[in-house]
Amino acid sequence: MNQKKVLILDYSVDRLETPNIKACLPADVQVSSLFIDTEDSFPDDLGDRPFTHIIHTGSALSINETAPFTAKAEKFIRETRARRAPQMGICYGHQLVCRALIGTHAVRASSNGFEVGWRPVTFPGNAQALLGVKQVETVWHHHFDEVVELPEGSELLATNDHTRVQAYINFQQRLIGTQFHPEFDKERGNRYYVNDRKFIEENNYAVDELIQQGPSFDTGQVFFNFFLEKV
């Protein structure tokens, strides 16, 4: 059996995404990561390296603003799709993949504003069967932007009353995306909320209330294993 070689492209400003994702991946997976903040963050030969799976992480950046690395990231995403390598996008990374493959009109600032906290999402019947989850589950949120158009052939996996596209799968193009963050378990997720207390409370949410809650299932195990085995 060929070893899975995962490349994490980490767009996070605080550099917390890579260790959180690594904690969710099986021990036998070979993991490499690159912190992406400039155009030079993408080596010219990156597409030639033997990665089997690519993960695009979340970020405090807004997808509606062009970053120094945006053009190279979008080119890499398109080239990776052409090579048929599976790609997973999380929050900002999910939005970046859709922007790269569809255009800037595929993403926007959420009309419902900031979504934060352990909030429910609904999984339709097809997603319940694919993922082994219940119809309604609780997951970790922290975002202002959203995807409003998906790559052709995509199937919605999760939704809620704040953000219609909470998760999707595209088997043909070998893509999966989540607006929520499966890499945060209760401990890591609530620690993030406590550390981000000032910002969250400036946006009218009570952190002490948020941290009384947690996920309803092991989101990291379910989503990363599905990505590695099924996409």
pLDDT tens-digit map of 188-215: 999 999 999 999 999 999 999 999 999 9
Instruction: Give yes or no for a contact between 63 and 151, defined as CB atoms under 8 angstroms apart.
Output: no
Q: What is the pLDDT of residues 10-59, one digit of tens each?
A: 999 999 899 999 999 999 999 999 999 999 999 989 999 999 999 999 99
Q: What is the pLDDT of residues 109-161, one digit of tens each?
A: 999 999 999 999 999 999 999 999 999 999 999 999 999 999 999 999 999 99
Of the pLDDT bands very low, low, confident and very high (cuts 50, 70, 90), residue 2 is: confident
Question: Which domains are delineated in the chain?
Answer: 5-109+146-188+219-230 (3.40.50.880)
Angle in degrees, 0-180, between the axes of helices 92-101 and 70-83, rounded to the nearest 10: 70
Mean pLDDT of the 215-228 span: 98
Find the catalytic residue in 115, 137, 146, 183: 183
Evaluate if pTM is beyond 0.75: yes
Burial class (CB in 10 A: 0-12, 13-18, 19+), 47: middle
Of the pLDDT bands very low, low, confident and very high (cuts 50, 70, 90), residue 1 is: low
Cα(218)–Cα(14) distance, rounded to whole angstroms?
A: 24
Find the catalytic residue in 17, 24, 91, 94: 91
183 is catalytic: yes
Q: What is the pLDDT of residues 174-187, one digit of tens each?
A: 999 999 999 999 99
The pLDDT, as a whole number, for residue 194 is 98
